[in-house]
């Protein structure tokens, strides 16, 4: 396969994963903070892919691989938070303390609904959305590495 095909595969894969995330959101599965974190590297990979199709060299495919690796690692971390393997950020796992607040304080405060990062909202074959994102993103890393190898020739 050619460099261009690997780039289109990898950037297109990020576009597909990102589109899937937005479809799930439209279907009523609101994303948590860590879900949003996983989207940014896909957006970067799409932009990098467009640039890599226009400009030669190994730098852009390497950056694409790093973007895909970043979202994969965040997906693994998010999966671990969901499964209780480790703690997630207190901003989205309900780990904040209510010490010092009275019942009236709690009733008086109505803020935006926070989607918890440690709750699985959807799963398929026992894997949640972050797990699937991680698996597919690791495949995209391989695609970017193949593009980088072909760029170095």
> Could you read off the pLDDT of 98-153 as tens digits, one per residue?
556 566 655 666 655 667 777 888 888 988 899 999 999 999 999 999 999 998 87
> Domain containing 148: what range?
3-85+116-152
In a domain, 19, yes or no: yes
In a domain, 45, yes or no: yes
User: Do residues 74 and 38 lie in contact, with contact meaning Cβ atoms separated by under 8 Å?
Assistant: yes
In a domain, 124, yes or no: yes
Residue pointed to by tokens 């970017």? 144
Q: pTM value?
A: 0.82
What's the structural domain count of the chain? 1
Distance of CA 35 to the CA centre of its chain: 6
- DSSP string of 117-153? TTS---EETTEEHHHHHHHHHHHHHHHHHHHHHHHH-
């Amino acid at each position: 396969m050619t460099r261009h095909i690997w780039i289109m595969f990898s950037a297109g894969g990020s576009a597909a994963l990102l589109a899937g995330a937005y479809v799930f959101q439209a279907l009523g599965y609101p994303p948590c903070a860590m879900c949003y974190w996983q989207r940014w590297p896909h957006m970067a990979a799409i932009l990098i892919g467009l640039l890599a199709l226009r400009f030669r060299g190994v730098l852009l495919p390497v950056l694409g691989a790093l973007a895909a690796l970043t979202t994969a690692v965040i997906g693994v971390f998010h999966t671990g938070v969901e499964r209780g393997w480790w703690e997630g950020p207190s901003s989205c796992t309900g780990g904040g303390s209510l010490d010092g607040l009275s019942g009236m304080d709690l009733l008086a405060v109505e803020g935006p609904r926070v989607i918890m990062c440690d709750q699985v909202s959807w799963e398929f074959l026992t894997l949640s959305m972050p797990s699937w994102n991680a698996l597919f993103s690791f495949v995209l890393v391989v695609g970017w590495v193949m593009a980088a190898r072909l760029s170095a020739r």
